[in-house]
């Protein structure tokens, strides 16, 4: 009997079905060795030698695997092919004391891929192991040495991470930009014009041949222009029409899958990766942790055949499409994320709705990446009305191409049949006031894109980074699902920025990622990389213990504790400020810091009051009789009732007042 060891039970079941009765496939349930939790576990005097242990939770698995290894004719390590997987394979070999074994890798869990991998076993790639080991040691050095500093100088329970701290810093800096932003007023003038009983919209672009942005169009000039245009007789001065092509996007990488799943399916990075892991382990898609845009020749041929037979020959561009990754360090030997079988249409497989939606997205994107370009006809009309020049743009889709499979936000906007010197009728003019907008807060997809562009993290790390900073209470999602720093997140970022600038420096962290890549390519030795980081970091940390004073996060109040009559103080907790008794821990009285009452009675139980509450996801509003009453809102109630359905009206973050009932579309002007 041959023993195959993989990471997860789902993967083991899929592979065992493929290999048949001559093989037994078991799961290691992830790493079987790690650094100890109770101490640093790194020999600082001996080239940072890690002191690995078998965690308590892994001991039962290791003992079971040892028994199976003893009776097996051959042991095959078939864990994932990335650095993490290579490290798991190495740890398995060490923990199980394997002397004679095979290491196989594959991009997809299909009969063809598994059988081909068995024909081509290889040794464990120690360069990949060393790269992952260096990352683990670096993160342990920062976490285990910087976290106690935060406990001593700020408050207990805090922690610092090497890459996570950079992500928090990006979010804090964006929040500062938003707070410092001063809106600038500007005006636009639009007209609704008619030709042959068909209307279209045009925008004012020039006055007396001077561009609007040069003139500085204010309220008075805008309204004057609108009034003049009402009385004018516009004429088409010039008409331009051109054919353009819109090309499909490449197949998914880990980063782009997380971004697109966030935008289209409203999935968090963690949810996306969990679903993708399941799809991979069940054999539906190729390996989901990748930064490559390549597709196997067999997959390209499948896409060609499918398009010609099922979609139509016009949708095949005549030759396969190849995409180049801009990142020179991308693993081009790997594949992009794609279905293992393009003929496996989403409508013909049985999956849970979330998994099916993600599979459909991957299937559509893969097929679209090999399709013909969409052909658009764009029309631009320059219109003259006395001293005023206007512009109207339109477009139609001549050939939908890849848009047939992968719809986008692209919409047709046809203009009437226009010709030069055509006279038009003004139906309406409108002078509109606008204000410049601050930069948007990061959503999870936007943060993933920023991290990738800045060279922070790698495919396997984006989701853990974003989850960790929220779990630690440094960042929370607001009702619009945008990431905002918490008070404690800002305090920690300020301290790190001031005293450990390299920890939050984007360029420094990106350079460290490049160093890890060079270790994987055998171009650098891992102890040297760690030493170059640790020596200055350790010296700075030692100095800061002496020079940085403890930050007092408490504030005095004139209130007394209702339970023991000691003075109440304002304390800082993981989710912000709160009132606490100065006699803590003898007295554990606490109270929310803000006046969280809204003065609005709960419409569900009629006896409770709606109060403001905080969670990891941000601020929300709920009945104070929870858990007896579970009524909750994401936006603040105004106290008024909807004139259409009598539900509560709420005020959202944009200041708009609307009905809280999802099925009611009432909104105040």
Which residues are identified as catalytic? Answer: 287
CA angle in degrees (0–180, nearest 5) for 436-442-448: 135
Residue 42 near residue 35, CB atoms below 8 Å: yes
- For residue 654, which phi and psi values (nearest 5 degrees)? -85, 0
Helix (H) or strand (E) holding 19: helix 9-19
Strand 636-641 with 49-50, pairing: unpaired
Question: CA 517, CA 524: separation in Å to the nearest integer?
Answer: 9
| Torsion sign (Cα): 91, 92, 97, 99 | negative
**Where are the alpha helices (H) located in 458-572, listed in sequence order?**
462-471, 487-499, 501-504, 506-520, 526-547
Contact 440, 181 (CB under 8 A): no
Q: Is 646 left (phi over 0), alpha (psi -120 to 50) or beta?
A: left
Give start and end residues of each alpha helix (H) in 110-199.
111-119, 126-153, 164-180
E strand intervals along 549-604: 555-560, 567-573, 576-581, 590-592, 597-601
- Measured CA to CA, the distance from residue 318 to residue 334 in angstroms comes to 25
Q: 3-state DSSP call for residue 643?
A: coil
Q: Hunting for tokens 């900073």 — which residue is that?
A: 469
Query: How far is residue 493's CA from residue 501's CA, in Å, rounded to a whole number?
Result: 10
Q: Over the range 287-326, which residues count as b (16 or more CB within 10 Å of their CB) and which as e?
A: bbbbbbbbbeeebbebbbebbeeebeeebbbeeebeeebe
Residue ranges with strand state E in 367-412: 374-385, 388-399
CA distances from 628 to 222, 548, 605, 624 (A): 56, 47, 9, 9
The whole-angstrom separation of Cα 478 and Cα 160 is 23
Buried b (16+ CB within 10 A) or exposed e, 391-424: ebebbebebbbbbbbbeeeeeeeebbebeeebeb
How many Cβ atoms from other residues are within 10 Å of residue 73's Cβ?
8
C-alpha to C-alpha distances, 35 to 139, 141, 304, nearest whole angstrom: 11, 11, 49
For residue 301, give Cα distances in angstroms to 72, 88, 307, 370.
Answer: 39, 34, 10, 10
**Which residue, 72, 97, 79, 61, is CA-closest to 22?**
72
Structure tokens at 582: 């100065």
- State the Cα angle at 76 between 75 and 77, rounded to 5°: 120
Q: Which two tokens stand for residue 428?
A: 């309406």
């Amino acid at each position: 009997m041959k023993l195959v060891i993989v990471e997860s039970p789902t993967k083991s079941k899929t592979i065992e079905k493929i290999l048949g009765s001559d093989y037994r496939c078991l799961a290691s349930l992830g790493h079987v060795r790690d650094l100890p939790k109770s101490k640093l576990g790194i020999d600082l005097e001996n080239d940072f030698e890690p002191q690995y242990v078998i965690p308590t939770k892994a001991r039962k698995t290791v003992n079971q695997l040892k028994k199976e290894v003893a009776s097996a004719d051959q042991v095959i390590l078939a864990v994932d092919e990335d650095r993490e997987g290579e490290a798991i394979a190495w740890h398995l070999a060490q923990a199980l004391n394997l002397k004679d074994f095979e290491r196989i890798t594959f991009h997809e869990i299909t009969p063809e891929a598994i059988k081909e991998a068995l024909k081509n076993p290889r040794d464990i790639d120690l360069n990949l192991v060393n790269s992952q080991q260096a990352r683990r040691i670096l993160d342990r050095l920062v976490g285990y040495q910087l976290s106690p500093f935060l406990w001593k100088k700020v408050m207990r329970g805090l922690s610092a991470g090497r890459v996570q701290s950079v992500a928090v810093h990006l979010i804090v800096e964006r929040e500062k930009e938003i707070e410092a932003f001063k809106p600038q007023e500007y005006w636009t003038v639009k007209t609704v014009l008619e030709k042959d009983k068909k209307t279209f919209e045009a925008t004012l672009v020039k006055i007396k041949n001077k561009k609007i942005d040069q003139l500085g169009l204010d309220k008075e000039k805008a309204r004057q222009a609108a009034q003049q245009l009402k009385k004018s007789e516009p004429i088409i001065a010039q008409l331009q029409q051109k054919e353009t092509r819109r090309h499909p996007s490449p197949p998914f990488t880990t980063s782009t899958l997380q971004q697109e799943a966030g935008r289209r399916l409203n999935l968090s990075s963690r949810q996306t990766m969990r679903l993708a892991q399941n799809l991979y382990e069940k054999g539906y898609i190729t390996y989901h942790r990748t930064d490559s845009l390549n597709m196997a020749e067999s997959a390209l041929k499948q896409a060609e055949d499918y398009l010609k037979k099922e979609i139509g020959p016009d949708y095949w561009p005549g030759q396969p499409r190849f995409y180049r990754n801009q990142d020179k360090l991308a693993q081009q030997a790997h594949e992009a994320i794609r279905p293992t079988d393009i003929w496996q249409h989403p409508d013909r497989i049985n999956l849970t709705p979330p998994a099916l939606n993600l599979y459909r997205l991957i299937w559509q994107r893969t097929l679209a990446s090999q399709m013909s370009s969409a052909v658009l006809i764009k029309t631009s009309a320059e219109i003259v009305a006395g001293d005023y020049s206007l512009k109207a743009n339109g477009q139609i889709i001549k050939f939908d191409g890849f848009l047939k499979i992968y719809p986008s936000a692209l919409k047709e906007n046809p203009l009437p049949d226009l010709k030069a010197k055509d006279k038009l009728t003004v139906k309406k003019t409108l002078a509109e006031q606008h204000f410049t907008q601050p930069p948007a807060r990061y959503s999870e997809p936007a943060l993933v894109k920023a991290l990738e562009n800045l060279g922070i993290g790698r495919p396997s790390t984006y989701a853990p980074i974003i989850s960790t900073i929220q779990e630690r209470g440094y960042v929370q999602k607001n009702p619009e699902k945008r990431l905002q720093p918490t008070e404690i997140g800002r305090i920690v970022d300020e301290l790190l920025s001031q005293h450990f600038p390299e920890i939050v420096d984007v360029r420094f962290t990106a350079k460290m990622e490049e160093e890890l890549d060079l270790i994987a390519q055998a171009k650098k030795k891992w102890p040297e990389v760690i030493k170059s980081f640790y020596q200055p970091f350790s010296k700075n940390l030692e100095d800061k213990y002496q020079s940085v004073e403890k930050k007092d996060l408490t504030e005095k109040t004139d209130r007394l504790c209702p339970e023991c009559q000691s003075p109440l103080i304002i304390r800082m907790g993981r989710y912000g400020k709160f009132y606490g008794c100065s006699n803590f821990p003898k007295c554990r009285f606490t109270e929310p810091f803000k006046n969280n009452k809204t003065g609005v009675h709960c419409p569900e139980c009629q006896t409770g009051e709606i109060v403001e509450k905080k969670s990891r996801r941000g601020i929300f509003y709920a009945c104070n009789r929870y858990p007896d009453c579970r009524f909750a809102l994401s936006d603040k109630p105004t106290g008024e009732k909807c004139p259409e359905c009598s539900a509560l009206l709420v005020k959202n973050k944009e200041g708009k007042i609307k009905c809280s009932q999802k099925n009611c579309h009432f909104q105040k002007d």
